[in-house]
Amino acid sequence: MTVNRRQFTLGTLLAIAASGGLTTAVRAQGDKTIAVLFDGLYSEFWVAGMKIIKDDLTKRGFEIFEAISDQNDSKQFEQVKAAIARKVDGIIIVQTDSNAVIPAIRAANAANIPMVHFNRPPAKSDAFSVAIQADNEKIAYDAVKYACEVAKKSGQKHAAAILIGDLGDPNAIQRRDGFEAAVKEFPDAVEVVARIPTEWNADTAFAGLTNALQANPDISFLFTSSDFMIPQIQQALESADKWAKIGEDNHVIFAGFDGFPSAYQLMKDGYMDADGVQNLFLETKLAIQAILDLQAGKKVDELLIDPGFVITQDNMAEKQEEMWGYTLWKEKNQA
């Protein structure tokens, strides 16, 4: 194909016009704006968190300045600076690294814009921001304790495995600590034989659990630090012929954390014994209220705790309405 100069110039101008037009298509502006800056939407928890926050803010009449950093701290810092340049009225942020977010907090402080960390607190520093965090250790402890009691009732000693998250994430460390504290109380019923690092990576979790099941074929107790790894866990347990319902001989006592729709499904179907639930609705409410209070000049604590709860086979009917995963599960199944 031969392209003459006129066609070439026309093509160039059209390309520029198209890129200018695209900016119009994605434009969003309003009077009162809150920036919602997440580091990724890796699992249903974050997707649901983002959706609930946006829905709540929209109901309250806020415009939303939304950005995802794709686990790039430098990019997220640039997004914070762009939000400041847009003169937003508050920033709700989920950072990747608890240390690397500190310059962003300082920038928000300098611009007098309140910043709230959703579900993941920053490292300690001289900069001021508010963090919302689930009581991970307590929730994990309660969920694992329930599973340990089930193990004790069985009258056998169970070999246990834990899927640990990324140890750079305080949430992962606290969940692991909650697990360790609970199993320590049941030395006659549970012995931990595998501590599997996952780095919050589903593939790593699958490989680690598969290896652990080969090395310890007697594993009959499992705790996952996050429900997002449920599909990989099911696959690994099926391969080891250990995917069985409560009451069956080869059932693995199984506890999870987060409150995913898939966890509710497993609870309902009788594959899972207990699940520690982060109260996403409460965390969202706390985050937005913190922004509003800070805007109004009120004093807000630096750390606001979501006490969460544990849903078990015993209290499922009573607690399921509070579980965000049940709400999503219900919406999907009704549809």
Q: Residues in the site for another protein, rule: CB under 8 A?
A: 2-5, 8-9, 11-12, 15-17, 19-20, 22-24, 26-29, 64-75, 77-79, 81-82, 84-86, 96-100, 102-103, 123, 166-169
Place of tokens 């600076």: 81
CA distances from 234 to 29, 164, 223, 224, 259 (A): 45, 17, 13, 12, 17
Beta strands in the chain (DSSP E): 33-38, 63-68, 90-93, 115-118, 130-134, 158-164, 190-197, 219-224, 253-258, 274-277, 303-306, 309-312
What is the DSSP pairing of strand 115-118 with strand 158-164?
unpaired
3-state DSSP call for residue 75?
helix
- Specify the residue, 83 or 148, whose C-beta has the smaller distance to another protein: 83
Question: DSSP 3-state helix, strand, coil percentages of the chain (rounded to 5)?
Answer: 50, 20, 30
Question: Least distance (Å) from another protein to the CB of residue 72?
Answer: 5
- Specify the residue, 36 or 323, whose C-beta has the smaller distance to another protein: 36
- Specify the residue, 98 or 226, whose C-beta has the smaller distance to another protein: 98
- Specify the residue, 50 or 150, whose C-beta has the smaller distance to another protein: 50
Question: Least distance (Å) from another protein to the CB of residue 227?
Answer: 22
3-state DSSP call for residue 41?
coil
Question: Least distance (Å) from another protein to the CB of residue 39?
Answer: 10
Question: Least distance (Å) from another protein to the CB of residue 177?
Answer: 13
- Specify the residue, 96 or 279, whose C-beta has the smaller distance to another protein: 96
Within 10 angstroms of residue 117's Cβ, the number of other Cβ atoms is 25
Question: Least distance (Å) from another protein to the CB of residue 26?
Answer: 4
Question: Least distance (Å) from another protein to the CB of residue 23?
Answer: 5
- Specify the residue, 65 or 264, whose C-beta has the smaller distance to another protein: 65
Question: Least distance (Å) from another protein to the CB of residue 45?
Answer: 18
Q: Which of 129, 266, 106 is nearest to 252 (CA)?
A: 266
d(C-alpha 115, C-alpha 122), whole Å? 11
- Specify the residue, 1 or 317, whose C-beta has the smaller distance to another protein: 1
